[in-house]
Structure 1
Amino acid sequence: MRVVILCGGESPERDVSRASGWSVARALLERGHEVVLVDPAAAVPVLAGPLTPGDAVDGSAVGKEPPSLSNRRQLRERMHTALTGGPVLDLLHDAEMVFLALHGGWGEDGHVQALLEMAGVRFTGAGSAACSAAWHKGRAQAVLGAAGLPVPERVLWRPGTYEAPQDAQRLVAAGPVVAKPVADGSSVSVHRVDSLSQLARVAAEVHSGEGELLVEPFLPGREFTVAVVGDQALPVVEIELTTPVFDYTAKYQPGAVSEVCPARIPDDLTSRLQELALRAHRALGFGGDAYSRTDFRCDTGGEPMCLEVNALPGMTATSLLPRAAIGAGWTYPDLVQRIIDLAMR
């Protein structure tokens, strides 16, 4: 097939997305596809291609910190222009499939999916409605809670408009808490907070696209993640941390954490986590043609709580979805081909 991979983009996960794009390109070439790699936010959008099987493929490293987005407005202008007209849109129309390796921002909140839907372009992953539902952590947790899934208490706060809400102050007093942007991925700007003064400092530092901060109790138990591909829940991955939270640095630097798959847990907990992941996937509108990854952390009693559902989880060499696929007995190219096959339904 002729496949265009969209990666990069305008979010704090720009570097991660580029690394995912190159990894997906290698896998598609191994499977015999023709590939064009495109970063729609770049000054020169076509990064490589058309590539054919046997061509050499470069890579892209992920830094220890997310990239500065002081030029985010420019990146968004380029991205909108590229996806709504000109040579990039022509490439998308000519492709038999568009593989979305975009993470965060417009690539994961439904913006790009909506543009592709309006243009009649076939793409991998969930549609715009499901992506939008999952992207805002506060609203997603409200949907999951209404569907009967266990979620932590949460407080939304728009810093700069008023002091921390009374409910947030109460959570901090009972502390510790986790404070993070309500709409960012890759654990960007995730902080453990132990005092109101520390929360105020975090609020001053965090600049989320939605302008909101989510504050929830810090859960001291074990951390797990479960990927769903189509209608299948993959093996549970346990994230063994050496830091209080699974932040950006820990997530993308090899050796920073231990990721165990399949997780060494009782069968009944494995089944429960997989069932919860499937329910979360469906509650937010993900169908059998999509894939997702649900993150869990356990409370003091060992009860898993749903933290969030990722609509376009990372596809780098160290990402959790490929790790779960290996646990299921799939190679990385197997995973990429399955994602393509789901989108062809």
Structure 2
Amino acid sequence: MRVVTLCGGESPEREVSLASGWSVARALVERGHEVVLVDPAATVPVLAGPLRPGDHVDGFAVGKEPPSLSERQRLRRRMHAALTGGPVLDLLRDAESVFVALHGGWGEDGHVQALLEMAGVRFTGAGSAACAAAWHKGRAQAVLGAAGVPVAERVLWRPRAGEVPRDVERLVAAGPVVAKPVADGSSVSVHRVDSLSQLAQVAAEVHSGGVELLVEPFLPGREFTVSVVGDEVLPVVEIELTTPVFDYAAKYQPGAVGEVCPARIPAGLASRLQELALRAHRALGFGADAYSRTDFRCDSGGEPMCLEVNALPGLTSTSLLPLAATGAGWTYPGLIQRVVDLATR
């Protein structure tokens, strides 16, 4: 097939997406496809291609810190222009499949998917409505809670000058809590907070950007993640943390945390986590043609709580979905082929 792989983009996960894109391109070439790798936010959008079987495909290393987004508006202008006209849109329309390896921002909140839908382009992963539903953690948790997926109490707060809302103060007093952007990915800007003074520092960091925070109790138990590909639920992965939270640096630096698949847990807990992940996948509108990864953390009593559902989980060499696929007996190229097949069947 002729496949265009979209990666990069304008979000804090830009480097993660570039790493995913190169990995996906290599896997597609290994499976016999012709691939063009495109970063719609780049000055020169076509990064490589057409790549054909037998061609060498480079990799991309993710840095220890998310990149600065001082140029985000410029990246967005380039991205919008590339996806709505000109040679990039022609490439997308001419492809037999578009593999969306974008993470965060417009790539995961439904913007890119909506543009591709309007252009009549076939693409991998969830559609715009499901992406939008999953992207805003506050609204997603409300839907999940109504569907019977356990979620922690949470308060949404857009820091401005003035007092901290009483509900936030109450959670901190019962603390500790976790404060994170309500719409972001790859654990960017996730903070454990033990006091109001610490919370004030976090609020000051995000105030100028107008970021809305989600504040929820810190869950001290074990952390798990479960991936769903189509209608198939993959083995549970346990994330063995050496830090209070699974942040950006821990996610993308090899050896920073332990990741065990299948998780060494009782069969009953594994089945429950898998059932909850499939329920979350469906509750947010993910169909049999999509894939997702649902993250859980247990409370002090060992009860798993859903943290979020990822519409476009990472596909780097250290990402959790490929690890779960390995636990299911799939190769990395086999996983990528399955994702393509879901979108083209």
> In structure 2, how many angstroms separate the alpha carbons of the residues matched to 1:242 and 1:286?
33
State the 1:210 CA deviation: 7.0
* Residue number in structure 1 paired with 2:302: 302
Structure 1 residues 2 and 208: alpha-carbon distance in aligned structure 2, compared to 1, 3 A threshold? farther
Query: Which residue in the other structure is 2:343 paired with?
Result: 343
Alignment of 1:1-345 (within 5 A): 1-160=1-160, 162-206=162-206, 211-345=211-345
| Contact 2:99/2:340 (8 A) holds in 1 | yes
Question: Residue type matched to 1:176 in 2?
Answer: P
* Shift, 1:209, TM fit: 7.5
- Cα deviation 1:159-198 (Å, max 9, x = unaligned): 1154321111100000000000000000000000000110
Instruction: String of CA shifts for 1:208-260, please: whole Å, max 9, x gaps.
Output: 98720000000000000000000111000000000000000000000000000
Q: Does structure 2 retain, via aligned residues, the 8 Å contact 1:184–1:208?
A: no
Deviations 1:116-137 (A, max 9, x none): 0000000000000000000000
Give the conservation status (yes or no) of the 8 Å contact 1:192–1:218. yes
Distance in 2 (CA, whole Å) between partners of 1:67 and 1:267 is 40
**Deviations, residues 9-59 of structure 1 (Å, cap 9, x unaligned):** 000000000000000001000000000000000011000001101011111
Q: 1:71 to 1:99 in 2, by over 3 A?
A: same
With over 3 angstroms needed to count, the CA separation of the structure-2 counterparts of 1:208 and 1:102, relative to structure 1, is farther
SS at match of 1:68: coil
Normalization by structure 2: what TM-score?
A: 0.99
Asked if the contact 1:229–1:339 (Cα under 8 Å) also holds between the matched residues in 2, the reply is: yes
Task: Call closer, same or farther: CA 1:329–1:106 in 2, change over 3 Å.
Answer: same
Flag the 1:344–1:104 CA change in 2: closer, same or farther, 3 A: same
**What TM-score comes out, normalization by structure 1 length?**
0.99
Percent identity of equivalent pairs: 86
How big is the shift at 1:107? 0.1
SS at 2:156 equivalent: strand
**Contact 2:227–2:293 at 8 Å: present in 1 too?**
yes
Distance in 2, matches of 1:125 and 1:240, equals: 28
Letter of the structure 1 residue corresponding to residue 26 of structure 2: R
1:206: Cα distance to partner?
2.9
Shift of 1:340: 0.3
Give the partner amino acid of 2:258.
S
| AA at the equivalent of 2:280 | A
Segments of 5+ residues of structure 2 without an aligned counterpart are none
Q: Flag the 1:154–1:318 CA change in 2: closer, same or farther, 3 A.
A: same
Question: How many residues are treated as equivalent by the alignment?
Answer: 345
Paired with 2:342 and 2:332, the residues of 1 have a C-alpha distance of 16
For residues 237 and 167 of structure 2, the distance between their equivalents in structure 1, rounded to whole angstroms, comes to: 33
| 2:30 aligned partner, one-letter code | E
- The CA deviation at 1:148 is 1.2
In structure 2, the CA distance between the partners of 1:207 and 1:63, relative to structure 1 (3 Å rule), is farther
For 1:107 and 1:252, the matched residues in 2 are separated by 19
SS in 2 for 1:203: helix
CA distance in 2, matches of 1:117, 1:289: 15
Q: Using a 3 Å threshold, how does the CA distance of structure 1 residues 3 and 288 change in structure 2: closer, same or farther?
A: same
Q: Kindly state the Cα deviation for residue 284 of structure 1 after the two structures are TM-superposed.
A: 0.2
One-letter code aligned to 1:64: K
CA contact (8 A) 2:159 2:206 kept: no
AA of the residue aligned to 2:41: A
C-alpha contact (below 8 Å) 1:237/1:261 kept by paired residues: yes
Contact 1:8 1:41 in 2 (8 A): yes
Offset at residue 63 of structure 1 (A): 0.3
Work out the CA distance in 2 between the residues paired with 1:332 and 1:19: 14
Name the CA shift for 1:44/1:208 in 2 (closer, same or farther; >3 Å): farther
Q: Secondary structure at the match of 1:206?
A: helix
Unmatched tracts of structure 1, length 5 or more: none
CA pair 207-165 structure 1, distance change in 2 beyond 3 A: closer
- Give the secondary-structure state (helix, strand or coil) at the position aligned to 2:63: coil
How far 1:279 moved relative to its partner? Answer: 0.1
Which deviates more, 208-217 or 259-268? Answer: 208-217
Amino acid in structure 1 at the alignment position of 2:188? V
